Amino acid sequence: MSLIAKIVKSWAAEEGKVNTTSELLDWIEDLNRNTLINIKECSINDSSFWFYDDYNGEVLNRKRSFFSIKGMRRFEDGEFTGEQPIIIQPEIGYLGIICREIDGVLHFLMQAKIEPGNVNCVQISPTIQATKSNFTRAHGGKLPTYFELFEHSDRYEVIYDQIQSEQAARFYKKRNRNMIMIVNEDFEIYPNFRWMTLGQIKKLMEIDNLVNMDTRTVLSGIPMLTYGVSAEEKREIKKYFKDETLFRSIFEADPQETLPWIYQKLNNYKMFRDVKLATVPLNQLVDWKVDDRGITCKKQADFMVRYYDIEIAGREVQHWSQPLFKAIGMATFGLLSCIIDGKRQYLVKVKPEIGSFDKAELGPSVQWEPSHYLYNDDEVEKLFREKYENGQRIMVKVILSEEGGRFYHEQNNNVIIDIDRNELPSVPKDYIWADYATLNYLVQVNNCLNIQLRNLLSLIKI
């Protein structure tokens, strides 16, 4: 059986060979009930590690490690487009998942992890979720569990390995290494880890705030490139699909039909739009105020920065303080989908952001921050809003969190809506219809799909 067939079989398996989904939910509930967690807002003056450098207008720590917070201004074609605090974290961390075949079904080793900004404390995370500061032990704590397997990944079958972007509206050019590898040798399974099928993880993604952002971005990269899969094997694979149009979008689509148009749109933006960024001291941001409790916008904003005193049992370091970006309201990320020539297609858009690694990436049909009501909707957004508010043909609708290590209680509506092609006969210039095969091809490349789009793709049901 090919790797593709094994992946699809695991995708279709909503119950595992090791743990039932009910047992997994009981495990999470038990951890939530019995793990010591104490998180409270504090003053930066209460910290002996973090401080505000008023001369340089920067929040940082005394080791100059982890990350810092500075001011950023953005100009496009000579016009000022915005300013804000932004996280500077130039290091590349690990987001990695180990998998293996168990009783004929591919299982993924997932971690129950508590991050200080999590809405519901414990969330299902990748096998390893570690910044460079974690695995170089800049904090003085223990090495992340299973780090040695990823450190020696050349010994195993790596099926996905790409450096992908983080939230470019909060981070400046931040990226992580997303990995999936098959490890067939025996190793100890620690109490905070469980084996799950891909279908079980997808099922758990239907529960609000249970599967974290890092898991979703890694799983979005599972390679479904079907070169060398025989016609006979495709017929067997097709039996697992309830949605035949999705099967055809993966196995009967040709990415080469759409890729030139996508690259043209992205490259036109990168080549012809003059984008300039300027790092400035926080105390020079016109609309933001800095004090010992954090950084707050004087106008409508999507976030503020606050300082937190944090105690979490069972982590490499169990008591510390740090700043977190605290959400104001809830964002909405949405994909419009339709069937064209019998294949399911997804409407994506060229999306520039202040912290983009290379000016712009492909984003979802709709990427609304909490303050989106201040914007003027185009025809795509108007159609999405109409369908969403009337509850029409919604395929996926779930509230999920952003990464709790940097963001406090940041949740988003994640929505996929089915439409008829004739409801949107033409699309604005920055949009394009793409099948699953094309988007999956692009996620095998660095910095083509933004994290909001990757996370939505991870929610697609077979």
Cα–Cα distance, 96 to 108 (Å, whole number): 10
Residue 142 pLDDT: 76
Burial class for 224, CB neighbours closer than 10 Å (0-12, 13-18, 19+): buried
Q: Dihedral (C-alpha) 282, 286, 287, 292: value to the nearest 10 degrees? A: 40
Contact assessment for residue 337 and residue 394, using Cβ atoms and an 8 Å cutoff:
no
Contact assessment for residue 343 and residue 336, using Cβ atoms and an 8 Å cutoff:
no
Q: Are strands 105-114 and 175-182 parallel, antiparallel or unpaired?
A: unpaired
Per DSSP, the chain holds a count of helices (H) and strands (E) of 12, 25
Residue 452 pLDDT: 98
Mean pLDDT by 10 residues, the chain (462 residues): 93 95 96 90 95 96 92 97 96 95 97 93 95 69 88 95 97 97 95 97 97 98 86 95 97 95 97 97 97 96 97 80 96 97 98 97 96 80 95 97 95 97 93 98 96 98 91
- CA-CA distances (angstroms) from residue 47 to 296, 314, 412, 416, 454? 19, 22, 30, 43, 36
Q: Of 402, 192, 196, 136, which is closest to residue 315 (Cα–Cα)?
A: 192
Q: What is the 3-state secondary structure (H, E, C) of 148-175?
A: HHHHCHHHCEEEEEEEEECCCCCECCCE
The helix or strand, by DSSP H or E, that contains position 179, with its residue range, turns out to be: strand 175-182
Residue 61, number of CB atoms within 10 A of its CB: 21
Residue 389 pLDDT: 94
Residue found by looking up tokens 């500075």 in the block: 70
Cα–Cα distance, 168 to 27 (Å, whole number): 34
Q: Of 460, 176, 202, which is closest to residue 345 (Cα–Cα)?
A: 460
Cα–Cα distance, 312 to 320 (Å, whole number): 9
Find the DSSP H helices in 220-320.
231-238, 244-251, 259-272
Residue 209, number of CB atoms within 10 A of its CB: 17
Residue 407 pLDDT: 97
Residue found by looking up tokens 């049992």 in the block: 313
Q: CATH number of 251-275+329-457: 3.50.50.60, 3.30.70.860, 3.40.50.620, 3.90.79.40?
A: 3.90.79.40
Structure token digits, residue 349:
């858009």
Residue 138 pLDDT: 61
Q: Of 149, 138, 163, which is closest to residue 109 (Cα–Cα)?
A: 149
How do the domains of the chain map onto residue ranges? 251-275+329-457
Cα–Cα distance, 3 to 455 (Å, whole number): 22
Per-residue DSSP letters for 35-65? S-EEEEEE-GGG-SSEEEETTTTEEEETT--
DSSP secondary structure code for residue 73 in this structure: E
Q: Give every CB contact of residue 384 below 8 A, 6+ residues apart in sequence.
A: 334, 336, 365, 366, 415, 417
Helix axes 3-12, 231-238, angle to 10 degrees: 10
Contact assessment for residue 253 and residue 435, using Cβ atoms and an 8 Å cutoff:
yes
Residue 85 pLDDT: 98
Structure token digits, residue 343:
């294949």
- pTM, 2 dp: 0.96
Q: Give every CB contact of residue 370 below 8 A, 6+ residues apart in sequence.
A: 302, 327, 328, 329, 330, 331
Q: Dihedral (C-alpha) 78, 82, 85, 86: value to the nearest 10 degrees? A: -70
C-beta contacts of 286-291 below 8 A and 24+ residues apart = 286/83, 287/83, 288/71, 288/83, 288/84, 288/85, 290/52, 290/57
Q: Of 192, 94, 193, which is closest to residue 135 (Cα–Cα)?
A: 94
Work out whether the CA dihedral 190, 14, 108, 141 comes out positive or negative: negative
